[in-house]
C-alpha cells in the first residue's frame, strides 16, 4: 500500500470514527456504529463481522462496523468476492481499497487529487462530502478531511 493510499484510509477512519474514538479502540477496527469516545461500543473478535443491528437517532438502523463502517451485508459480498478469511484489520483495509477502486478514485489518490477522490467516494461513506452522498447523515468538511489526509502523510498534487 502506498503512502497516499494509507493516508486516504486514515482520513476515512478519521471521518467515519473520529480521532478520540480511534484512540480508545483498536485504531477503529473494532468499533460498532453509534459509538462515541465517551461510550465506545467495541467488538472482541475479528473472526466475522459483529452483525449487531443498532438503532440510531432518528430511527436509522445500521449494522455498520469496523474502521470503515462496513455494513454486514456488504461484508458478506466482499468476503466472498475478495476471498477474505475474516473481518480483521487487513480484511477491512482490503474492502476499503476495493470500494475506492469501484469509485474510480485509487489512481487520483496517487496523483494527490484528494478533493476529487473524496467527492468520488462520497457514495460509499456517509461522512464524506460530495454530490454522490445521499445518506442524509453528518457530513464532515472538505478542509478538515484534506488536513487529516495531509497529517496522515498524504501528499497533494
* Grid coordinates of 25: 479502540
pLDDT at 131: 72
User: Is the pLDDT score of 19 beyond 90?
Assistant: yes
Contact 25, 17 (CB under 8 A): yes
pLDDT at 132: 65
65: which strand partners? 32, 70
60: which strand partners? none
Dihedrals φ, ψ of 119, to 5°?
Answer: -60, -45
Taken as a whole, the chain contains a residue count of: 157
CA pair distance 157, 136, nearest whole angstrom: 30
Single pTM value for the model = 0.94
Q: Where are the domains positioned within the chain? A: 3-151
Q: What is the mean pLDDT of the chain?
A: 94
Q: Please list the active-site residues.
A: 16
Which of 75-79, 80-84, 125-129, 142-146 shows the lowest mean pLDDT across its residues? 125-129
The pLDDT of 59-79, averaged and rounded, is 95
Nearest to 28 by CA among 127, 156, 147: 127
Q: Does domain 3-151 sit in CATH 1.10.530.10?
A: yes
Most confident of 36-45, 51-60, 78-87: 78-87
The pLDDT of 147-155, averaged and rounded, is 97
User: Is the pLDDT score of 136 beyond 80?
Assistant: no
Residue 96 CA from chain centroid, whole number? 7
Grouping H, G, I as helix, E, B as strand and the rest as coil, residue 108 is helix
Amino acid at each position: 500500500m502506498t503512502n497516499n493510499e494509507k493516508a486516504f484510509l486514515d482520513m476515512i477512519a478519521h471521518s467515519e470514527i473520529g480521532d478520540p474514538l480511534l484512540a480508545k479502540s483498536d485504531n477503529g477496527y473494532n468499533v460498532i456504529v453509534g459509538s462515541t469516545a465517551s461510550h465506545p461500543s467495541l467488538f472482541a473478535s475479528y473472526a466475522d463481522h459483529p452483525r449487531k443491528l443498532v438503532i440510531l437517532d432518528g430511527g436509522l438502523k445500521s449494522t455498520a462496523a469496523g474502521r470503515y463502517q462496513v455494513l454486514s451485508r456488504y461484508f458478506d459480498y466482499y468476503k466472498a468476492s475478495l476471498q477474505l478469511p475474516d473481518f480483521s484489520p487487513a480484511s477491512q483495509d482490503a474492502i476499503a481499497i476495493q470500494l475506492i477502486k469501484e469509485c474510480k478514485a485509487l489512481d487520483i489518490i496517487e496523483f494527490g487529487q484528494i478533493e476529487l477522490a473524496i467527492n468520488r467516494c462520497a457514495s460509499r461513506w456517509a461522512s464524506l462530502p460530495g454530490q454522490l452522498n445521499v445518506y442524509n447523515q453528518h457530513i464532515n468538511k472538505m478542509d478538515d478531511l484534506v488536513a487529516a489526509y495531509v497529517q496522515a502523510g498524504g501528499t497533494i498534487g
